[in-house]
Amino acid sequence: MEFLPLDKKLPFQGLEAIQPQLLETFPYEYRERETEIEITSDEFTAVCPYSGLPDFGSITIRYVPDEYCVELRALKYYLLTFRNVGIYYEHLVNRVLDDIVSCCSPRRITVEADYRVRGGLKTRVSVSFRKP
């Protein structure tokens, strides 16, 4: 088996392909309650920026809304924009968290990426934010 030389990596898109403007919200009518919303997408795909190979896994977003909730159809389209983007796991969860916080300013949020095994390694990365 022959491997591609590092200077012959497979092509992928840069971070500019991520489209946070696709995210939409709707007003949350029960602000007096701390309702936790959990959204999981088990068909998430991005690209390893080192090898250019696809990474497959699931993304779980848990958040407590304040004034707004994230609209699910818009979230799905936003997550699809990562499909051909070269991004490390550790950067991915932070980018998703930052984009959702910018979109709907939740009380608290955790974003977790749980990737499938590749090269014998299983990786799970999470990041959290809480309003002061």
Active site residues: 48, 55
* Domain count of the fold of the chain: 1
What pLDDT does 122 receive? 92
In a domain, 120, yes or no: yes
- What is the tens place of the pLDDT at every residue in 30-67? 999 999 999 999 999 999 988 888 999 999 999 999 99
What pLDDT does 56 receive? 94
CB neighbour list of residue 110: distance below 8 Å, 6 or more residues apart: 60, 61, 62, 63, 126, 127, 128, 129
CA angle 70, 31, 111 (to 5 degrees): 40
- What is the tens place of the pLDDT at every residue in 92-125? 999 999 999 999 999 999 999 999 998 888 999 9
Q: What is the CATH number of the domain that holds 42?
A: 3.30.1130.10
In a domain, 2, yes or no: no
pTM score, whole prediction: 0.90
CB 51 within 8 A of CB 90: no
Structure token digits, residue 91: 């950067």
Q: What is the mean pLDDT of residues 74-94?
A: 96
CA angle 87, 105, 103 (to 5 degrees): 55
